[in-house]
Amino acid sequence: MAEDTVSFTGKLRSIKFDTYDIRMAVGLCAFLSLVLWWIPVIGPAVAGYVAGRKTGSMTKGTLCSFAVGSVIVLIAWGLAKLILPAGGFPDVPASEAAANMSGLSSAVGMYLAAFFTDGTSSLALSQLGILIVFGLVGGMLSRQVRKETAELLATGAVEGAIRPTARSVELYSKHKTLGFQSYDDCIASQKVNVNDNPESYRSEPPSGASRRSSGSSTVHTVTTTVSPSSTSADEEEDESPFSDILDKSERKKGPY
């Protein structure tokens, strides 16, 4: 017996249901309806809404709740015909007939009386209507969630406000030309290395290096001016008449 229970439990756990599953929706609707039907308005509303959300469709949610609710109401009517006549049903209201009975029959009768309009022997079809309406609402909201999820995936939005797709991306998806060049050409031009074009590439030394080079050239100029054995390239090319006089004065002084 224990092994049979374990195997049955394992089979139940092995059953896999999809996110939107009509079989699971029918089961949930039937279970919640049987458990919560005695609560006016709220019980059928919860059962219908859960069933609608599980179906994932407004049409499926409506049909599922209608089918399950109709079957449950018919079963309740049949059981009432068998059990409640002992308390005087249908000549007296279902609730009074259940109160006239005793023991387990009275408890079952009180449960069946929840399917009837209070103080009458007529079925409470308004409860069935609430179940169907909330099945429609649950399916509608489920469908809306699916559409919103598809929109988020399409736009790539993860956090923050949803932004519409850029017009350039829409045009590119339609194989349109963007401005003077296509989108692919723009991407290719961004990957071009500036070093591949030597004419447009200029190597400029840093500001510190340029200052140091200027200082060294100044010292070199002064050194070559006072040096007795060397002349700069600028002085050799200079044809000023004073250059000969300076050379003679330097030769008269002799070496240091």
pLDDT at 145 over 80: yes
Top-confidence residue, 101 or 244 = 101
Top-confidence residue, 136 or 180 = 136
Q: Are 79 and 112 in contact (CB under 8 A)?
A: yes
Convert the pLDDT of each residue in 97-119 to its tens digit: 888 888 888 888 899 999 998 88
Convert the pLDDT of each residue in 221-238 to its tens digit: 444 444 444 444 454 455
Listed by start position, the domains of the chain span 13-155, 161-190
- State the burial class of residue 36 (Cβ atoms within 10 Å of its Cβ: 0-12, 13-18, 19+): middle
Q: Are 76 and 112 in contact (CB under 8 A)?
A: yes
Convert the pLDDT of each residue in 206-218 to its tens digit: 555 444 444 444 4
Top-confidence residue, 121 or 244 = 121
